[in-house]
Amino acid sequence: MRVEIDGGASGDLLRSLHTALSGEPEWRGRVRLVEGSSRPEALGSLLEALAVALAPGGVAVGLVSAVVAWARRQSVGDVVCKLSRPDGTSVEVSAPLARSLRGADEVRALVEDLTERLESGSSGSDTPSGE
């Protein structure tokens, strides 16, 4: 699974998400930073995404739950996380939406919806509930 972040300071946000995921036993050793090609004026490569190895069977619910929890803690900005499968199926989670969820039932409903979309391969052209 690939995780990209849109929003200001995306490199710092990717590092933050990497740290959060790597701190969980379920994800330790299965998350790596992906660097993009560097620009001539840059001193090094820019962070582009996170690559996350899913357990056999590819169940994404744990990753979606972790990303939603992380997005809820982002107190500033319109940060958007995009989770993509190798086949191009993707969903997005916006921090403002994640912060607006009230209670465990709303969080669970969002996680279930996004996971269903990822696992069924139906990112489609309609607006995912995580946007």
> Amino acid identity, residue 112?
E
**Mean pLDDT value of segment 103-128:** 80
pLDDT at 45 (0 to 100): 60
Q: No. of H helices and E strands in the chain?
A: 4, 5
Domain span at 100:
2-120
Domain count along the chain: 1
- Residue 125 in any domain: the answer is no
Report the relative pairing of strands 31-35 and 80-84 from DSSP bridges.
Answer: unpaired
- Residue 131 in any domain: the answer is no
Check if the beta carbon of residue 130 is closer than 8 Å to that of residue 93: yes
The pTM (predicted TM-score) of the whole model is 0.82
Where on the phi/psi map is residue 7: left (φ > 0), alpha (ψ -120 to 50), or beta?
left
Q: Sign of torsion, CA 90 98 17 46?
A: positive
Give the whole-angstrom CA distance, residue 37 versus residue 111: 33
Check if the beta carbon of residue 66 is closer than 8 Å to that of residue 28: no
- Residue 34 in any domain: the answer is yes
- Residue 32 in any domain: the answer is yes
Percent of the chain with pLDDT over 90: 59
Higher pLDDT, 126 or 89: 89
Check if the beta carbon of residue 64 is closer than 8 Å to that of residue 103: no
- Residue 126 in any domain: the answer is no
- Residue 82 in any domain: the answer is yes
Give the whole-angstrom CA distance, residue 51 versus residue 22: 12
pLDDT band at 126 (very low <50, low <70, confident <90, very high): very low
